[in-house]
């Protein structure tokens, strides 16, 4: 079975982002960029399926600026076989990403596509579901367990009340939640090997996809700051303050 | 202009998150309709009809909707969307699952997790774990929106008297089927709807130690939550997780116990009215946003808190 994973280049999860002074967005110049953590889990799951013999080939796809190649290399170092880079400087909304991925999938014909459940920059949590709709495929979102059984996929999902299990017809889309696996670190030999793995480059024009945004960002602001930092000396004092000052108990 | 709110419900009851979505719909302005897609869901529809501000309830009752399967619900919502300027759903795991499917089929953007309505086409949504707030304007004809419950007060559950109209179910699908669920059972309030939340982190050291928090929770009518570290360590199930990728809560009182305060956790609770932190590390970032911090050993302080509450609640 052929697998495709989508990986996004985002501001590293440890970076405290700063809003730009002109309120047009957040500062991304000279900021550490990494693979979206949920996408690392997606790559890891794909590699595990290959190690089990379920998957035969893993294609890692990333969309965006030239440096997305680094994100693809990370996926290749973790164990993906080859990469596809859709090069564009345009800011891509989830709907455009889903359309571009659909165009790639129409050519590649994978049986299973694994994506992160959300990107930690725009926190949209849309792409996997949109892609499933455009393809007319089933979806197993927020997955904490994935099992392939013939032409069926069983996915355990993290839902608000606990866990839910669904059976999906393949081909299918899976989006990863935190407890699906713990991604490996790429070893140095595998990082070296990844440099020789092929990455094809294409573009929205080549794929015939209109990526014009549907939303206009009018402004980006910092949220109001909390006035915290006060400490109290004892639990008795705390309870007194909660009762008589904050009046919440 | 009419607005459709796709309800979150359990067939027998309307879930609290639906009430926040109704408030968002009222803020946009226009007739507010609620869709109940369920099985034997008449009780949920009757509850929806009583919600203040609701003009009409649509009930699609079919076995296929017993569980909220995205592949089943999305085609129904997509078909109905043609009659509406906006379709809203709570940003719960269920709403997040089917709404993007609706948006993509309609070839429109989705605006995820709005926290404020500026005008009928302009909304505020948190990005980067809530470290920035984006104001976005939609150019699409139909606006597909998920609503962050903490951004909007709950609509009154009573006072309305809407008509219930039964509608036909959407087409059958064979892409996906429900196998089973393991849902946490608790007598305590839901995390996202609770007035008080007490959460534990890695500092709790084990799942058994969460009974210390439960004892306090029962005295305050609180829900119990956890940080990602505590869930990853297996102390408590995934549905306890508060944070960027877990549940977003904004109770009157949030008590963080043994939680250091990673930005991903703060993203899920920093809009709480009053925040209390109990941690042995006085440098822990959680203290920077806490209204009241207590530095010390939680295994001594939490039982003390429990006893002290007995005194004041006497």
Exposed e or buried b per residue across B111-132, where buried means at least 16 C-beta atoms within 10 angstroms of its C-beta: bbbbbbbeebbbbbbbbbbbbb
Residues sharing a CB contact under 8 Å with residue B72, sequence separation 6 or more, in sequence order: B64, B65, B170, B173, B176
Give the whole-angstrom CA distance, residue A36 versus residue A96.
18
Residues sharing a CB contact under 8 Å with residue B285, sequence separation 6 or more, in sequence order: B260, B261, B262, B266
- Which residues from chain A sit within 8 angstroms of residue B244, using beta carbons? 120, 123
**Predicted structure pTM score:** 0.95
CA distances from A206 to A4, A203, A209 (A): 19, 5, 8
- Which residues from chain A sit within 8 angstroms of residue B117, using beta carbons? none
Best CA proximity match to B111, nearest among A100, A142, A124: A124
Token pair of A102 as six digits: 């659909």
Beta strands, E only, chain A? 2-6, 9-11, 33-35, 57-64, 82-87, 112-116, 138-149, 152-159, 162-169, 172-176, 199-202, 215-221
Give the whole-angstrom CA distance, residue A211 versus residue A93.
8
Give the whole-angstrom CA distance, residue B95 versus residue B98.
6
CA distances from B301 to A234, B84, B277 (A): 9, 53, 11
Q: Return the percentage of chain A with pLDDT > 70, whole number.
A: 100
Residues sharing a CB contact under 8 Å with residue B133, sequence separation 6 or more, in sequence order: A220, A221, A222, A223, B115, B124, B125, B126, B127
Q: Nearest by CB to B128, from A17, A131, A165: name it.
A: A17
Predicted confidence at residue B1, as pLDDT, reads 80
Token pair of A161 as six digits: 């009340």
pLDDT for B313 beyond 90 = no
- Which residues from chain B sit within 8 angstroms of residue A166, using beta carbons? 69, 176-179
pLDDT tens digits along B2-35: 999 999 999 999 999 999 999 999 999 999 999 9
CA distances from B118 to B2, B28, B149, B274 (A): 18, 8, 16, 26
pLDDT tens digits along B182-191: 998 888 999 9
Angle at A194 between CA A189 and CA A198, to 5 degrees: 155
Determine how β-strand B292-295 pairs with β-strand B274-279: parallel
Chain B interface, best mutation among A214, A217, A218, by max B CB count within 10 A? A214
CA distances from B133 to A25, B32, B78 (A): 9, 27, 29
Exposure on the CB side of residue A186, measured as CA atoms within 13 A = 22
Give the whole-angstrom CA distance, residue A132 versus residue B101.
7
- Which residues from chain B sit within 8 angstroms of residue A168, using beta carbons? 175-176
Q: Nearest by CB to A163, from B96, B182, B264: name it.
A: B182
In Å, how far is B23's CA from the nearest CA of chain A? 21
Q: Return the percentage of chain B with pLDDT > 90, whole number.
A: 96
Confirm if B60 and B40 have CB atoms less than 8 A apart.
no
Give the whole-angstrom CA distance, residue B184 versus residue B187.
10
pLDDT for B314 beyond 70 = no
**Inter-chain CB proximity B132 and A141 less than 8 Å:** no
- Which residues from chain A sit within 8 angstroms of residue B284, using beta carbons? none
pLDDT tens digits along B147-182: 999 999 999 999 999 999 999 999 999 999 999 999
Average pLDDT of span B205-230: 97
Average pLDDT of span B191-209: 97
Give the whole-angstrom CA distance, residue B191 versus residue A134.
34
Residues 183-212 of A with CB under 8 A from B: none
Q: Nearest by CB to B292, from A164, A217, A238: name it.
A: A238
Beta strands, E only, B154-284? 163-166, 176-183, 196-200, 223-226, 253-257, 274-279
**Inter-chain CB proximity B245 and A214 less than 8 Å:** no
Residue of A nearest to B279 (CA): A231
In Å, how far is A139's CA from the nearest CA of chain B? 8
Give the whole-angstrom CA distance, residue B92 versus residue A210.
30
Residues sharing a CB contact under 8 Å with residue A62, sequence separation 6 or more, in sequence order: A6, A7, A8, A9, A68, A69, A71, A72, A75, A83, A84, A85, A86
Average pLDDT of span B183-201: 93
Q: What is the ipTM of this complex?
A: 0.95
Q: Nearest by CB to A228, from B67, B134, B289: name it.
A: B289
Q: Report cis status (omega within 30 of 0) of the bond before B157.
A: no
Give the whole-angstrom CA distance, residue A238 versus residue A227.
17
CA-based end-to-end distance of chain A: 58
- Which residues from chain B sit within 8 angstroms of residue A227, using beta carbons? 291
Residues sharing a CB contact under 8 Å with residue B30, sequence separation 6 or more, in sequence order: B1, B2, B3, B85, B86, B120
Q: What is the mean pLDDT of chain B?
A: 96
Token pair of B24 as six digits: 């968002």
Residue of B nearest to A179 (CA): B232
In Å, how far is A166's CA from the nearest CA of chain B? 5
Confirm if B237 and B186 have CB atoms less than 8 A apart.
no
Token pair of A145 as six digits: 């367990």
pLDDT tens digits along B83-135: 999 999 999 999 999 999 999 999 999 999 999 999 999 999 999 999 999 99
Token pair of B223 as six digits: 């829900």
- Which residues from chain B sit within 8 angstroms of residue A138, using beta carbons? 71, 175-176
Residues 69-128 of A with CB under 8 A from B: 93-95, 98, 117-118, 120-128
pLDDT for B285 beyond 90 = yes
Token pair of A239 as six digits: 């309870």
**Inter-chain CB proximity A218 and B128 less than 8 Å:** no
Please list the pLDDT of chain A residue by residue as tens digits (249 residues): 999 999 999 999 999 899 999 999 999 999 999 999 999 999 999 999 999 999 999 999 999 999 999 999 999 999 999 999 999 999 999 999 999 999 999 999 999 999 999 999 999 999 999 999 999 999 999 999 999 998 999 999 999 999 999 999 999 999 999 999 999 999 999 999 999 999 999 999 999 999 999 999 999 999 998 888 899 999 999 999 999 999 999
């Amino acid at each position: 079975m052929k697998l495709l994973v989508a990986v996004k280049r985002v501001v590293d999860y440890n970076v405290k982002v700063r809003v730009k002074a002109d309120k047009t967005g957040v500062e991304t110049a000279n900021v550490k960029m990494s693979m979206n953590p949920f996408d690392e889990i997606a790559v890891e799951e794909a590699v595990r399926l290959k190690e089990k013999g379920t998957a035969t080939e893993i294609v890692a796809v990333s969309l965006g600026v030239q440096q997305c190649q680094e994100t693809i290399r990370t996926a290749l170092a973790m164990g993906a076989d080859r990469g596809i880079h859709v090069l564009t400087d345009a800011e891509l909304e989830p709907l455009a990403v889903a359309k571009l991925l659909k165009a790639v999938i129409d050519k590649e014909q994978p049986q299973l596509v694994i994506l992160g459940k959300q990107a930690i920059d725009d926190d949209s949590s849309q792409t996997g579901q949109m892609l499933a709709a455009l393809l007319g495929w089933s979806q197993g979102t927020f997955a904490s367990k994935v099992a392939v059984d013939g032409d069926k996929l069983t996915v355990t999902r993290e839902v608000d009340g606990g866990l839910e299990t669904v059976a999906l017809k393949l081909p299918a889309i899976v989006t990863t939640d935190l407890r699906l696996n713990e991604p490996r670190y790429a070893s140095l030999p595998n990082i070296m090997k990844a440099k020789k793995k092929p990455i094809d480059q294409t573009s929205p024009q080549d794929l015939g996809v209109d990526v014009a945004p549907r939303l206009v960002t009018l402004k980006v602001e910092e949220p109001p700051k909390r006035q915290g930092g006060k400490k109290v000396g004892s639990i008795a004092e705390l309870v007194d303050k909660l009762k008589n000052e904050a009046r919440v108990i | 202009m009419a607005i459709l709110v796709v309800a979150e419900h359990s067939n027998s009851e309307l879930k609290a998150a639906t009430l926040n979505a109704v408030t968002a719909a009222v803020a946009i302005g226009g007739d507010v309709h609620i869709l109940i897609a369920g099985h034997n869901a008449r009780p949920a529809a009757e509850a929806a009809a009583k919600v203040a501000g609701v003009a009409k309830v649509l009930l699609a009752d079919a076995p296929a909707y017993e569980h909220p399967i995205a592949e089943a619900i999305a085609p129904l919502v997509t078909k109905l969307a043609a009659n509406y300027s906006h379709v809203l759903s709570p940003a719960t795991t269920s709403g997040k699952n089917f709404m993007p499917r609706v948006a993509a089929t309609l070839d429109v953007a989705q605006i995820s997790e709005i926290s404020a309505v500026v005008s009928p086409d302009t909304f505020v949504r948190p990005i980067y774990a809530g470290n920035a707030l984006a104001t976005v304007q939609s150019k699409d004809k139909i606006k597909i929106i998920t609503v962050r419950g903490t951004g909007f007060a709950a609509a009154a559950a009573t006072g309305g008297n809407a008509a219930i109209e039964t509608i036909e179910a959407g087409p059958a699908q064979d892409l996906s089927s429900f196998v089973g669920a393991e849902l946490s059972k608790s007598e305590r309030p839901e995390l996202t709807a609770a007035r008080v939340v007490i959460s534990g982190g890695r500092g709790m050291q084990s799942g058994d130690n969460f009974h210390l928090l439960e004892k306090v929770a029962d005295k305050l009518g609180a829900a119990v939550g956890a940080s990602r570290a505590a869930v990853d360590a297996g102390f408590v199930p995934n549905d306890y997780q508060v944070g960027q990728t877990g549940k977003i809560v904004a109770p009157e009182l949030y008590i963080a116990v043994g939680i250091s305060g990673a930005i991903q956790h703060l993203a899920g609770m920093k809009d709480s009215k009053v925040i209390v932190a109990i941690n042995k590390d006085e440098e822990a970032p959680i203290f920077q946003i806490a209204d009241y911090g207590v530095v010390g050993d939680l295994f001594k302080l939490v039982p003390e808190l429990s006893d002290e509450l007995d005194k004041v609640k006497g």
